[in-house]
């Protein structure tokens, strides 16, 4: 199986590339920072380049995984680059439609696309109402959503908080002198380790099925419980983040960290049991021990 991975140098993309099955011939792309993946091919590629010949790109592959997402420092700039992404991915989809091989498409986006859902159990069939960073990033995802609505061969993976050494976690919970409790801490956090997400992605690639999918969660809990687990591992004190400090956050960041999304992974309450909590604790210990 020939697979193209857009965004192989990113946090999620690197993990996907490191877990490639033996029977897959992988080509990964990067824009600036070239990663090393042993025998796998790696190519520099700017998917936002408007002159890209997507027909030539997709014709070589049985599957295209999109783990790339252009980022920016402000909401205005995120909207701008996401509009460029929408055009690029629209051209990719057009090339797939016109291709004789019709490669399977798998696109990874975030669960913030569902919006702040409080106590609801959020299912893959639910309508979207983007909040936080997803208000910008969902612009680029539109061609994939439209492609799926048309009954085409695409899987949309809605990833929640993805935990890893290069994720949001060290900056939010290890680089500060305290463990934050955000607002009242009752918002739901659905968490998947980056390695578990990579395994889930390859499972979908090998048994291609169209639709919207939620990865099997590593752990699901209230934010204050997550903060307490980090406190127990690191021995750092917890501190409630008040209204004034929250107001200093950039708007999309504030919406993102305060959103409550209890993601349904089809495993009932398995992600809330003691074994799952123990595994999360082990992951946090590993990240903390390597943090400097």
Is 268 within the bounds of a domain? no
Torsion angle of the four alpha carbons 122, 128, 133, 139, in this order, in degrees rounded to the nearest 10: 150
Q: pLDDT band for position 292 (50/70/90)?
A: low
Is 207 within the bounds of a domain? yes
Which of 140, 139, 182, 184 minimizes the C-alpha distance to 161?
A: 182
d(CA 211, CA 198): 18
Which of 6, 82, 13 minimizes the C-alpha distance to 45?
A: 6
Cα end-to-end distance, the chain, whole Å: 40
The C-alpha angle 168, 12, 156, rounded to 5 degrees, equals: 110
SS3 216: coil
d(CA 35, CA 33): 6
- Domain range enclosing 21: 2-160+194-213
Whether residue 39 is predicted with pLDDT greater than 80 in this model: the reply is no
| Alpha helices for the chain (secondary structure H) | 11-18, 54-58, 75-98, 134-149, 168-169, 194-206, 223-234, 243-247, 251-258, 274-289
Tell me the mean pLDDT in the region 271-285: 97
Is 243 within the bounds of a domain? no
Handedness of CA 221, 204, 202, 137 (dihedral sign): negative
Q: Which of 37-51, 106-120, 215-229 has the lowest mean pLDDT?
A: 37-51
What is the pLDDT at residue 223? Answer: 98
Is 289 within the bounds of a domain? no
Bridge pairing between strands 154-159 and 104-110: parallel
Is 222 within the bounds of a domain? no
Residues, the chain? 292
In the block, tokens 């209230």 appear at 222
Whether residue 183 is predicted with pLDDT greater than 80 in this model: the reply is yes
Whether residue 37 is predicted with pLDDT greater than 80 in this model: the reply is no
Is 262 within the bounds of a domain? no
Whole-Å CA distances, 284 to 98, 170, 192, 238: 46, 10, 12, 16
Number of domains making up the chain: 1
Q: What does pLDDT average to over the chain? A: 95
In the block, tokens 């999109």 appear at 66
Q: What percent of the chain has pLDDT over 70?
A: 100
Q: pLDDT band for position 44 (50/70/90)?
A: very high
Residue 266: partners with Cβ closer than 8 Å, 6 or more residues away: 214, 216
Is 145 within the bounds of a domain? yes
What is the pLDDT at residue 35? Answer: 82
Instruction: Determine contact, residues 70/83, Cβ cutoff 8 Å.
Output: no
Whole-Å CA distances, 198 to 143, 162, 186: 23, 10, 29
Is 225 within the bounds of a domain? no
Whether residue 220 is predicted with pLDDT greater than 90 in this model: the reply is yes
d(CA 87, CA 142): 10
Whether residue 172 is predicted with pLDDT greater than 80 in this model: the reply is yes
Tokens of 235: 């021995």
For residue 150, give the CATH number of its domain: 3.40.50.720
The C-alpha angle 89, 94, 99, rounded to 5 degrees, equals: 120
- 53 burial (CB, 10 Å; 0-12 / 13-18 / 19+) is exposed
């Amino acid at each position: 199986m020939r697979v193209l991975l857009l965004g192989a140098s990113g946090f999620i993309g690197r993990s996907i590339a490191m877990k490639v099955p033996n029977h897959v011939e992988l080509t990964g792309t990067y824009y600036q920072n070239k990663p090393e993946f042993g025998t796998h091919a790696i190519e520099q590629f700017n998917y936002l380049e408007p002159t890209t010949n997507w027909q030539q790109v997709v014709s070589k592959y049985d599957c295209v995984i999109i783990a790339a997402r252009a980022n920016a420092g402000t909401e205005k700039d995120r909207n701008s680059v996401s509009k460029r992404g929408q055009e690029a991915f629209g051209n990719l989809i057009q090339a797939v439609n016109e291709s004789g091989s019709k490669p399977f498409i798998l696109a990874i986006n975030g669960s913030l696309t569902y919006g702040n859902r409080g106590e609801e159990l959020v299912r893959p069939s639910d309508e979207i109402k983007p909040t936080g960073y997803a208000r910008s990033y969902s612009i680029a995802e539109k061609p994939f959503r439209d492609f799926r609505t048309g009954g085409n061969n695409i899987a949309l993976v809605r990833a929640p908080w993805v935990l890893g050494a290069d994720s949001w976690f060290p900056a939010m919970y290890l680089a500060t002198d305290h463990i934050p409790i955000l607002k009242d801490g009752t918002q739901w956090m659905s968490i998947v380790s980056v390695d578990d997400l990579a395994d889930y992605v390859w499972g979908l690639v090998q048994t291609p099925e169209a639709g919207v999918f939620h990865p099997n969660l590593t752990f699901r809990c209230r934010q204050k419980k997550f903060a307490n687990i980090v406190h127990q591992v690191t021995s750092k004190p917890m501190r409630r983040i008040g209204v004034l400090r929250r107001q200093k956050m950039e708007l999309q960041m504030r919406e993102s960290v305060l959103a409550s999304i209890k993601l349904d992974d089809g495993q009932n309450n398995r992600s809330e049991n003691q074994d799952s909590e123990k595994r999360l604790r082990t992951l946090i210990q590993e990240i903390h021990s390597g943090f400097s």
